[in-house]
Amino acid sequence: MDRLNPSDWIAAGEALLPEMIALRRSIHLEPELGLHNPKTTAKAKAAIAGLPLEISEGPSTSGFIALLRGPANGRTVLLRGDMDALPMHEETGLAFSSTDDGAMHACGHDAHTAMLAGAAKALCARREELAGSVMFMFQPGEEGHHGARYMLDDGIINPLPDAAFALHVSPNVPKGTFGGRAGPLLAAADRIEITVKGKGGHASQPHLALDPIPVACEIVTALQSLVTRRIPAFDPVVITIARIEAGTTNNVIPETAELEGTIRSFSESSRALARDGVLRIATNIAAAHGATVEAEIIPGFPVTVCDSKAVALAKAAAVSLFGDGGWLTIPSPIMGAEDFAYVLQKVPGAMVMLGATPEGGDFRTCCGLHSNRMTIDESVMARGVAMHCAYAEVFLREGFGET
C-alpha cells in the first residue's frame, strides 16, 4: 500500500475546519456535566451520521464508541475525545458563551469532540487505504467522574485496541505545536475530605467550647510539612486544601470545620505516603486538642503514563506534518490529572497536548485551562485532525516499528 502524503491530512483538516468550528461552538453553547451528556452526544452522533461506523454504547454513560473497520484485519487504534464541561460560570464574553450559568467548557472538551468527529470523517473518506481499524471514543465524565473507567467496565471497548491516543488543547502551549513526553505526563489525583468535630459555644468564651477552626488550620499547616519532610523531593507530591468551611456568624464557635482538597502524585509509593500521612496528621492533631475527626481519601485518577514508542510515533507524525517546529518535548510531568490514564493502564499509547493560544495572546501568560476566561484559537483544530489521522494511519501500517 502506498503511503499517504502528510499534506493529504493537512488538507483534510483545513477542509473540515468550518464544520468543526460550528460543532465546537454548538457544544460550547450548551455545556453538560458528568457522565450523561445527552445533548453533546446527540451533536457528536449527528456530525458523523452516514459514515461507515459501528456504534457501541453502554449503560453507565452517554459515551459511545464509533468503530471504523478497515478493509484488512490488521491492528486497531483508539482515538479519544472527551465531551463534558466544568461546573463554573463563564466570563469569556464570546458570542457563543454558555447558556447554562453553572457550566462552561473551560478545558477544551468541546474542541476535542469536534476534532474527533473531524478525524472520523477524514479517516472514513480514506477507509480503503487503511491497514486496520479505528475506534473513535466519544467520552463524557472526564472532569472527575471517571468516564473512561466506566466505558471500559461497560465492555464497549472490547476487544481492547492495540494502541490509544488522545489530544488535549492548551492555551499555554505555543499555538499549533504538539507536545508530549514519555513516562508520567499527568499526576494521580485523590480527594481529601476532613471534618473536625469540636464543641460549639459563645465566641467570647472559647475555654468553655472546643473550637474546631484552629485545629483545622493546624492540620492545613502540618500537611505542608508532610510534603517537604516526609515525601522524597524527587518523587514529588502536591497537597492543596482548597476549601475550608465553618461557622455561621461572628460570635458563635461552630461544632465542626470542614476541609476539602487534593493530593497529586506521580508514583504509587509517594501516593501511599501522602494518603497515610494526611489521615495520620488529621487524626492526631485533632486528638491533641481533644477534638475528633472524620477523614477520608477518595481515590481519583491514576497517573497518566505515556508509552515511549507511542510518544516517538506521535513526535514523528508531528514533524512529518509540520516540520521540526511541530513538536515540543515537555520536560517534566504536569500536576494536572486525566482519566485517559485508565485507558493507558490497559493499552500502550499517549496523550499529546496541542497548543491553542488565542489570537494575540501570549502562551506564557494567557488564561489557562479551567479559567472562566479561557479561550482558544479554533484554527488549530485543523492541525488536530491531521495529527489524529497521521498517527492512526502510521500505527495501523507500521505499529510501533516492530517487524
Instruction: Give the pLDDT confidence of 228-254 residue by residue, as tens digits.
Output: 999 999 999 999 999 999 999 999 999
157/207 same-domain check: no
pLDDT in tens, 372-403: 999 999 999 999 999 999 999 999 999 997 63
Report in angstroms the alpha-carbon separations of 257 from 244, 291, 293, 294: 7, 11, 10, 11
Tell which of 246, 273, 298 closes a domain: 298
Residue 217: which of 249, 241, 239 has the closest Cα?
A: 241
303 pLDDT exceeds 70? yes
327/235 same-domain check: no
225/201 same-domain check: yes
Tell which of 277, 298, 319 closes a domain: 298
In sequence order, what E strands does 160-228 have?
Answer: 163-170, 178-180, 183-186, 188-197, 201-202
pTM: 0.92
Report in angstroms the alpha-carbon separations of 202 from 155, 197, 214: 57, 16, 15
Q: Helix 6-29 to helix 308-322 angle, to the nearest 10 degrees?
A: 100
Mean pLDDT along residues 112-117:
98
Number of domains in the chain: 2
132 lies in some domain? yes
pLDDT in tens, 26-81: 999 999 999 999 999 999 999 999 999 999 999 999 999 999 999 887 899 999 99
138/194 same-domain check: no
| Phi, psi of 84, rounded to the nearest 5 degrees | -85, 165
Report the alpha-carbon distance of residue 227 to residue 231 in Å, rounded.
6
Q: Which domain holds residue 333?
A: 6-183+304-398
Tell which of 235, 268, 298 closes a domain: 298
33 lies in some domain? yes
Domain holding 171: CATH number?
3.40.630.10
Domain holding 287: CATH number?
3.30.70.360
403 lies in some domain? no
1 lies in some domain? no
